C-alpha cells in the first residue's frame, strides 16, 4: 500500500483522496491546538512556506485522543489554525490515531514505521515523512522540532 490508497475527510466533512498528493513529499502530523507542543505549528508553517513550491505538502490531522487537547469541531479548528496560528495549510477532519477506531491511514503509518516504544502514537505532533512515491520514509517523535526536518525534506525534494 501507498499513501495514495487512502482517503480522509477535510475540515468540511468532504472525502478527499490522497492520490491528489502523487509526486509530492508529504509530512503527516497528528496535532492538537491546545497541546503544549502546539508552538510546533510555527515551525511547520515555516517548512510549508519554504518548501511548498518545491513539492512539500503538510497534512495536518487534528486528534483529540491525548488529554482532550483538540475538542473543537473540525470547522472551528480550521478557523483557529488560519486566523490565530496563521497557518497556510488547512487541517483535515479530526481522526483517531490509536485504538479500535484508528483511521486506516494511521494503521498503515504505524505498521510501516513503529516508534521507539512500539507502533502506537504516543502523543500529539508525531510526524511521518512520505516520499514522492507515496512510501513512508521516517517517523519522528512528538518532540522532534520541525526545523530539524529540513535535511530530511531536502533529500526527498
Reported as a single tens digit per residue, the pLDDT across 43-101 is 999 999 999 999 999 999 999 999 999 999 889 888 888 888 889 999 999 999 999 99
- Mean pLDDT, residues 3-9 taken together: 97
Q: How confident is the model at residue 42 (pLDDT cuts 50, 70, 90)?
A: very high
The pLDDT of residue 116 is above 90 = no
State the cell numbers at 157: 525534494
The pLDDT of residue 113 is above 90 = no
Residue 36's pLDDT is what? 95
Of the residues 18, 35, 121, 129, only one is catalytic, namely 35
- Mean pLDDT, residues 12-41 taken together: 96
Beta-carbon contacts of residue 47 (< 8 Å; ≥ 6 apart): 27, 56, 58, 146, 147, 149, 150, 153
Please say if 35 is a catalytic residue. yes
Query: Could you tell me the domains of the chain?
Result: 3-156 (3.40.30.10)
In the chain, the percentage of residues whose pLDDT exceeds 90 is: 86
Residue 30's pLDDT is what? 98
Residue 140's pLDDT is what? 96
Residue 51's pLDDT is what? 98
Amino acid at each position: 500500500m501507498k499513501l495514495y490508497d487512502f482517503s480522509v475527510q477535510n475540515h468540511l466533512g468532504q472525502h478527499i483522496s490522497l492520490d491528489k498528493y502523487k509526486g509530492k513529499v508529504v509530512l503527516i502530523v497528528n496535532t492538537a491546538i491546545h497541546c503544549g507542543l502546539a508552538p510546533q505549528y510555527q515551525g511547520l508553517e515555516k517548512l510549508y512556506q519554504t518548501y511548498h513550491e518545491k513539492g512539500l505538502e503538510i497534512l495536518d490531522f487534528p486528534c483529540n485522543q491525548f488529554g482532550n487537547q483538540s475538542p473543537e469541531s473540525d470547522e472551528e479548528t480550521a478557523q483557529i489554525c488560519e486566523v490565530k496560528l496563521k497557518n497556510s495549510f488547512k487541517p483535515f477532519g479530526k481522526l483517531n490515531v490509536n485504538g479500535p477506531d484508528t483511521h486506516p491511514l494511521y494503521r498503515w503509518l504505524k505498521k510501516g514505521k513503529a516508534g521507539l516504544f512500539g507502533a502506537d502514537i504516543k502523543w500529539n505532533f508525531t510526524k511521518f515523512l512520505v516520499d514522492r512515491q507515496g512510501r513512508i520514509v521516517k517517523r519522528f517523535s512528538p518532540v522532534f522540532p520541525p526545523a530539524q526536518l529540513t535535511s530530511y525534506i531536502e533529500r526527498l525534494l
